A and B are shown apart, each in its own frame.
Chain A
Amino acid sequence: MSAPWQKDGYEAVIGLEIHVQLATNSKMFCSCANQFGDEPNTNVCMVCLAHPGAMPVANSEAIRQATRVGVALGCRIPETSEFSRKQYFYPDSPKAYQISQYDQPLCAEGLFRVPGEGGFDVRLTRAHLEEDAAKMIHAGGEGGRISGSAGSIVDFNRVGTPLLEIVSEPDIRSPEDARRFLTLLRATVVAIGASECDMEKGSLRADANVSIRPIGSSEYGTKTELKNMNSFRFLERGIEAELERQLEVVLGGGTVQQETLHFDPVAGTLSSLRSKEQAHDYRYFPEPDLLPVHQTEAGLIELGSDLPELPAARFDRLVAAGLTEPTALALAVDAGLAGYLDAVATATGDLKTSANWTMGEFSAHLNGAGLSADQSPVTPERLAALIALVVDGTINQTAAKEVFGVLVEDAQATAAGVVADRNLAQVGGDDALGEIIDAVLAAHPEEVEAFKGGREQVIGFLVGQCMKQSGGRADAKALQGLLRARLNG
C-alpha cells in the first residue's frame, strides 16, 4: 500500500460504504423509467409514491447487474438472499421504510485487490441491493442544504432507483489508499456496464468509517461515519480532516464520540449530523411482499463467463507486456481507452508503441475535443496504419505528429496518403544526410569551434539546424550519429 497514515503513534483505520446506482432501464420495484435529470416527479407511479395497495416487484435486471458486480468484486454469491424492510420516517422515504437487505444480502464476503506497487487487498463485508430515496431540495437553504431553509420539496423521480451498497472491512490505512481503492472499484463497476458511477450525478456515493488506534493495536477505536464526499478529492480530504480531528481529540486526552459527520468541502470542516444516542432503530424484518432471490450455480457460471476483462487483470496484463505502472493503471481504469489500445495493438503487433500513441497524441486529442475513444474520427485502424509508418522508418516522430493532426481533421485521409501528399517521408540515407550536414557545418563555423572546444551541448543546435534544413524529415537518430562522427572526426 501507499505509505500508511501514521502520526504520533496512531494509525488510520478506514472502511468505505459505497452506493452505486445501477443503470437499469426501470426502477428497482416498479416499471418507471430509471432516468437522471428529468422534470421532477414525472417518473413516478403508485409504487414510487407509496400509495395504499402498491406492491413492489423486484427488477430482475437489477438483480442480474448487482450479481455481476458481486462476482467482479470477488464476492461469494449465496444461493438465497432476501429483501427486508428498513424503517425510518423521513419525507424522502414515502413508505417510511426502504426495501433493502439485512442478514441475507445478495453478495456476501469478498476480496478486492488493488494491484501495482504498494498494492493492497481490501476485504468486502457484503454488497446488497436496495432502493434509493427521493431527492430532497431544501428551499431557501444555502446551496439546497437544510440549514436555514424555509421548507423542503421532494422529487420522487429518484425514489426506487436500484442501488447497490458495497461495504468494505476497515482494511484501508490511508486517505490516499481510500481514493485508490474507490478508483479501482469504480472502474470495475463501470467496466462491466452496471453503472455510470458519476459522483457528480450521485450515481456513485461513498461514506467512510474512520477511526484511529495505536500503531500495532489489533483493537479498533471508536469510529465516525463521514457522509457527503461527492468527489474522489473530497473523499481523500474528508478522511484526512477527520483523522486529524480524531488525533487532536485523543492527544488532548479526550475520547472520540461515535457520530455521523458531514464534510463541507468548501470550508474543509466536519459537522455532526447525529450522535449515537440519536441512532436509528430500523426495526428490520423480511419484506413479506417479495419472495427470496434464488441463484443457481449454472446461472452464476454463465454470468461469470460473460464478464469483460476487469481493471485489475488488465493492469497485470499491461505491466507484464512492458508498460509502466502509471500507464497501465491509467489504461486499467479507462475501459474505453484500453479497448482502443487493444484494437490498435492487435493491428500493429506492437503494444508498447501503440500504448505510447494511445496515451500520448490520441488521449490529448480526446481531451481537447471532449470525445470518448469510440467517438474519435481516428479509428484504431487509422492510427495503427500511422504507427506502422513510424515503426518501419518511413516517417519520423515529427512527421507522424503532423500526419496525426491531419487524420483528426480529415476523416477520409489515410496516413500513407498524407505522407505522400506532403512529401513527409524521412530523409535517412547517409548521402542525403551528409549533404545537409555539410551545408549546416559550413554555415555555422563558430558553433563547430565551440563544440570542438568542449561545449558539447551545441550539438543540439546543430541537429535542429539540420532538421530544419531537411524540412523536418530527417531521421533524427541517424542524423545525430552522423553529425557526431563528423564533428569528432
Chain B
Amino acid sequence: MAAVDVIGLTAERAAAMLRAGECSSEELAGAYLERIEVFDPALHAFLHVDPEHTLAAARVQDQSGNVGLAGVPIAYKDLLSTKGVPTTAGSKILEGFIPLEDADVVARGNAAGLVSLGKTNLDEFAMGSSTEHSAYGPTRNPWDQTRVPGGSSGGSAAVVAAGLAPWSLGTDTGGSIRQPAAFCGLVGLMPTYGTVSRFGVVAFACSLEQVGPMTLTVRDCALLQQVIAGGSERDATCVGLREPIVLPEPGRLDGVRFGVPWAELEDGVDPGIRERFDASLKLATELGAELVDVELPYARHGLAAYYVIAPAEASANLSRFDGVRYGLRVDGPDLRSMVEATRSAGFGPEVKRRIMIGTYALSAGYHDAYYVQAQRVRTLIRRDFDAAFGGVDAILLPTAPTTAFPIGSRMDDPLAMYANDIFTLPVNLAGIPALSIPNGLVEGLPSGLQIIGAAHTENTLLRFGAAFEQAIGFDSVPPALRGGAA
C-alpha cells in the first residue's frame, strides 16, 4: 500500500483524490491511523481509536464508490455521541458508556460517507479552555508540546494541526471551537445558534452551544458545515439554515465595512496578538474594506453573565449522572450515599466548581440576583451586537487575547483561565456566528482572527475568511512536521 502523504492535506483535496482514484479511502484512513499510532502517544489527542472499525468503514465507502466527500476521514470530539462507540465527554463518570444513538451531526457525517478515525480529547464536559481538565489527561499542542492546544475542543484541534485527521468536529459553548483553532493554527466556525442539531451532544450549557467544524482551510470549513448544518426533528431548537452554505472563493473586500470595538482591546491583550490583529486590519483596508468604530458596551460583562448562565444550565444538565442507570457507580449503604460517592469520584474539580456555582445561582433567594440578572445582561449584549450590525457587515476581534499558554500555567487560577474566552463568549451569549482563521504567528505560535457576523451570515463570514486567508498566506503545518516528516 503506497503511503499517502497526509501532512497539510485538506479534506477538499482528499475528496478529490478519492474521486479521481488516486488513493482509496482505506489507504487514506490507514495513513492517518499510522500517524495516530506514532504521534498520538505524545500528543494524547484521541481518547478512543479503533483501527479495525475505521478501516472497515473506509472499505464500505470504497465499495460504494467515493462520491462527494465519501471516504474522507474525520475525528469527532468525544462530547458527540457515537452509537456503539464509547463516549466519555472527558469524564470518569461516563467511563465505559456506550450511546444508543449517533448524535445528529455524526449521523449526517455518516450519511455523507465520512469515516470516523476516533473520538478526541476535551476538557471534562467541555468545561475549560485548555483540555487540561480532561479526566484522561491533557492534550499537547502540536506547535509546542509544552503548551496547551486550547479547549475545550483541544483534541479536535490538535489532531488536525498534527496531521492525524484532515478535519474534525468540535463544540463551542464559550469559544471552545474558536480558541483551540486559534491556538493550533486552524479555521474554526461557531455557527448561528439553532442551525446545527445538538441531539446527541452531551449537554453542558444548552442555550449557548453549537457543533462546528475545525479545519485547515476556510473552504474545508464550508464543506463540513454543509454536511452538519440543517434542521432536526430531534432538536426542537434547531431550525436549520436560512440559505445553503456556499463554497467561498477568495477575493477582494471592496465596500465591506468591518466594525472594530476598540474599547474591548484596551486591556489584557498580549502585545504580539495586538500586533497581528492590527496587521489584519491593515490587510482588510488593502483589500478594499472600510474600518468602522463600533461599541459593544455590555460585551465586557459577558464573562460574568456567562459564568452564571453556563454553570446554571450545567448544574441541571449534569444532575442525571447519578450512578443509577449507566456510567460509573460507586456503591454506598443507601441511595443518597451511592449518588454522593458516585458524583464525588466521577466529577473532576472544575466540573464540581461549576455545578456549585450554577446550583447557587439558581437557588431561592439568589435566583434573581444572579440568574435573572445574567439573562438581562445577555439581552443587552444581544442588543449591542444588533445595533453594531446595523452599520457594519462584520466585527473583527482577536480570537483569544494570548497564544497557547504552557501546560499547568493557569490550572490554579480559574479566573485567568476563564478570561481567555473574553472575546469569544459574547458571541455565544448572542447566539450569532463567528469564524476564527489563522492570523500568523506570534513568537512561533499561531494566533487567531475572529470575524463575527449577524445571525445566519455564515456565507458572508466564510467569504471574508477566504479573502483574509489568501492575503495572510498562513502555513498551517507546524514546523516540526514540515519536510515530509511522516
Contact = CB atoms under 8 A, between A and B. Distances in A.
A94 B320 contact: yes
Contacts of A291: 236-237
Nearest to A156: B325
Contacts of B207: 288
A406 interface: no
A220 interface: no
B100 interface: yes
B202 A283 contact: no
Main secondary structure of the interface of A (DSSP, over half): loop
A281 interface: yes
Q: How large is the interface on A (under 10, 10 to 19, 20 to 34, 35 or more residues)?
A: 20 to 34
Given A89-B339, A281-B363, A285-B312, A53 B103 contact: yes
A91 B100 CA distance: 21
B326 interface: yes
Interface string A386-410: 0000000000000000000000000
Given A53-B103, A283-B359, A288 B319 contact: no
A453 interface: no
A283 B362 contact: yes
Contact of A94 (B97, B203, B325): B325
Contacts of A85: 316
Most chain-B CB neighbours within 10 Å: which of A50, A91, A95, A283?
A283
B322 A89 contact: yes
A53 B206 contact: no
Given A46-B99, A53-B200, A283-B367, 17 more contacts: A51-B325, A52-B94, A52-B202, A53-B87, A54-B199, A57-B235, A57-B236, A58-B236, A89-B322, A91-B335, A94-B320, A97-B316, A281-B363, A288-B313, A289-B206, A289-B235, A290-B237
Contacts of A89: 319, 322, 339
Nearest to B202: A52
B371 interface: yes
B254 to A, nearest CB: 40
B456 interface: no
Contact of B237 (A50, A152, A283, A289): A289
B180 to A, nearest CB: 21
Interface string B67-84: 000000000000011000
Interface string A187-205: 0000000000000000000
B38 interface: no
Contact of A52 (B203, B236, B237, B316): B203
A57 B316 contact: no
A285 B199 contact: no
A116 interface: no
A470 interface: no
Given A288-B207, A289-B236, A52 B89 contact: yes
B47 to A, nearest CB: 15
Contacts of A53: 80-81, 87, 99, 101, 103, 199-203
A51 B236 contact: no
16 contacts: A46-B99, A46-B100, A53-B80, A53-B203, A56-B236, A57-B235, A87-B362, A94-B324, A94-B325, A95-B316, A281-B363, A283-B362, A285-B371, A289-B198, A289-B237, A291-B237
A49 interface: yes
A180 B381 CA distance: 53
Interface in B193-245: 198-203, 205-207, 233-237
B199 A55 contact: yes
Contacts of A95: 316, 319-320
Contacts of A50: 320, 325
Interface in B305-335: 312-313, 315-316, 319-322, 324-326, 335
B346 to A, nearest CB: 13
Contacts of A154: 324
A156 to B, nearest CB: 9
A96 B206 contact: no
Interface in A19-68: 45-46, 49-58
A218 B234 CA distance: 50
Contacts of A281: 363-364
A288 B237 contact: yes
Contacts of A152: 335
